[in-house]
A and B are shown apart, each in its own frame.
Chain A
Amino acid sequence: MNATTSLTDRYVWAAGRSVPEAQRDELERELRERIGDATDALVDEGQAPADAEHAALTALGDPAALAADYIGRPLQLIGPRYFLVWWRLLKFLLALVLPIAVAGITLGQLLSGVEVGEVIGSAVSGALSVGVHLCFWTTLVFAILERVPAAPGQRGIDLEWKPEMLPQIADDGRTNRLVDLVSSLVLLGIFGVLLVVQQFGLPWVDALSSMPLLDPALWSFWLPYFLVLIVLEAAFAIAVYVRGWTWGLAGINLVLGAAWVVPGLWLWATGQLFNPAALEAIGWPWGEAGAVIAPIVVVVVIAAAAWDVVDGFIKAGRSQQRITAV
């Protein structure tokens, strides 16, 4: 076997191994015919056999791409058939799962008495790792779907698009509001459950596994007060979803925000918020850290509450504009 035949052999082998075995023999024979005929034509034009073969193979291009073209296999990870479904699902999952994961990680770390810097570090690396997993597994599923042949006449798992699926133009704030509603209700639910559960200890924090985190004395008034506030917030979130932001609702948002922040900070500042035994168990104040963390918490809480109130008024302003524009 001389060097010239081996180039064709190598090409045919490279193309053949990337197709299923059932189609391999036929493809290899066809390729040999095509390469042979193309080479002969170039030799007839006066090229040396080795150059002719080289030129013929160059014209064929990458054997894997050629084989994919011959057997009609997709050369893209996710094609147009699934791209939109994949993209919508990925955005939805990232928006839903990432915040929950970050909140969970942060809370868990804070409660187990980790330093602030380390908490931020874990939250960032946790968010990255959860995000990468979400992207990877979602994409993998769709890449496999792309390669599974759909039944004849079917587009695959994708729903057939109908005009009824078109979004409502006039009420375009509603989709965003639905996202707001779902995230509010989920967060409020988690918060409410945590308020009750903490009374029996936090099993995932060693030091607090059977000890209330918040001062049990608060059950006489303040904890029920906050639970009622959670119910009110949920009702408020539904009202915003149904009616859109109005100046009135933005005002109520201000009152609700104050109803959280003022008593919460006051209880904390006067040392009534946390269970003294729990603070002792987690070793508070953590050396020098206490003096740093306290102002940070106050600033963050007030800033978050203030932003929430301002955000409410901005949204109210926008939706009023939209109404006058329509």
Chain B
Amino acid sequence: MNLDETTAGHLQELRRGTVVLACLVRLRTPDYGYALLESLNSLGILVDANTLYPLLRRLEKQGLLTSEWNTDEARPRKFYRTSPTGELLADTLMTDWRRIDDALAGLTDGDES
């Protein structure tokens, strides 16, 4: 395994949880898979379609998202929305994310002194 692969692997691990958090926050307004993919990537939250679509399914199965088929347009689309349980998890994750950020900041400051 070369260095690039190692870096890519660690980046993927670091981002995995943040994609869940980003989905839960972003889907407070209902949206469908491809639109979500676009908006997350344009915000700089880099996620692959092969990760996002199965993730949405898994979050729905865990009761963190609810879904509804929208058949108004020619192509039926599944719209996901964050459930109340999903909101609670988003708050917990966000708190922890901030705590980790502070802790890492403290660690870096400590390094420099």
A residues lining the B interface (CB < 8 Å):
29-30, 32-34, 36-38, 41, 59-61, 66, 69-70, 72
Chain B binding site: helix, strand, loop or mixed by DSSP?
helix
Give the distance in Å from the alpha carbon of A69 to the alpha carbon of B50 in the complex. Answer: 9
Contact indicator A72/B58 (Cβ below 8 Å)? yes
Which residues of B38-69 have CB atoms within 8 Å of chain A's CB atoms? 49-50, 53-54, 57-58, 69
Would you mind naming 30 contact pairs between A and B with Cβ atoms under 8 Å apart?
Answer: A29-B69, A29-B76, A29-B78, A30-B33, A30-B57, A30-B78, A32-B75, A32-B76, A33-B34, A33-B75, A33-B76, A33-B77, A33-B78, A34-B33, A34-B49, A34-B53, A37-B32, A37-B34, A37-B75, A37-B77, A38-B34, A38-B49, A41-B34, A59-B50, A60-B50, A61-B50, A69-B50, A69-B54, A70-B54, A72-B58
A75 to chain B, nearest CB (A): 13
Give every chain B residue within 8 A of A38 (Cβ-Cβ).
34, 49
A15 to chain B, nearest CB (A): 12
A85 to chain B, nearest CB (A): 27
A61 to chain B, nearest CB (A): 7
Give every chain B residue within 8 A of A41 (Cβ-Cβ).
34
B residues lining the A interface (CB < 8 Å):
32-34, 49-50, 53-54, 57-58, 69, 75-78
Give every chain B residue within 8 A of A30 (Cβ-Cβ).
33, 53, 57, 78
A27 to chain B: closest residue by CB: B57
Q: Residue among A33, A41, A60 with the most chain B CB within 10 A? A: A33
Contact indicator A33/B32 (Cβ below 8 Å)? yes
Give every chain B residue within 8 A of A29 (Cβ-Cβ).
69, 76, 78
Contact indicator B34/A34 (Cβ below 8 Å)? yes
Give the distance in Å from the alpha carbon of A30 to the alpha carbon of B69 in the complex. Answer: 10
Give every chain A residue within 8 A of B54 (Cβ-Cβ).
69-70
Contact indicator A37/B50 (Cβ below 8 Å)? no
Further 7 A-B residue pairs, CB within 8 A, beyond A33-B32, A61-B50: A29-B76, A32-B75, A33-B76, A33-B78, A34-B33, A36-B75, A37-B34
B48 to chain A: closest residue by CB: A59
Give the distance in Å from the alpha carbon of A60 to the alpha carbon of B51 in the complex. Answer: 11
